[in-house]
Structure 1
């Protein structure tokens, strides 16, 4: 399907009037890391997404999926390791240490599975 192109006269030149779709959602931390990864290691995919105007939407979707998966993994790890509000009230330092450990492990899972993994794309 051919689309009609409109041109804008700038001085002696006619420049195509091309607009990319606007995406208002932020790409966030995970989207920025994945963008850098595909830019460096998967340039064909990166260029294809840029040329189609789908890069920002793709990265915003990935960021939302990664963030929700991170929250789910953290909740599951908290439950399996017995990190509760009761622990938070009675032994705050142990709770902080356990939560930091859980968050770090969950972030590593997200990085390996969704951001830098072979099947991440």
Structure 2
């Protein structure tokens, strides 16, 4: 949730920061300076030259459960990937569920295919 000052806050009102960590291929979520979780991704280019960001795992530490951090993390990560012109591929069940609930991302997504799943295994 973004408050009136433009700061992202969780359900408790604590300030939340989402940052891309490209060296480790993940977005991190921190609350009051403490890392609470991440969304892991891998970048690829499909057979048609389309840049894709494949989200394959999201986790938030149990100590931060129930605060809406996973949803905040996923939304911010997807918004960033979309702003970069990348197609979003939701292999991670949490990302896939978010995309299903938010059709406004449909133009920015690519389907999960066997080819992508095989590529991830490598």
TM-score, structure 1 as length reference: 0.24
- Greater relative contact order (Cα 8 A, min sep 6): structure 1 or 2? 1
Higher strand share: 2
TM-score, structure 2 as length reference: 0.24
Higher helix share: 1
Q: Which structure has the bigger radius of gyration?
A: 1
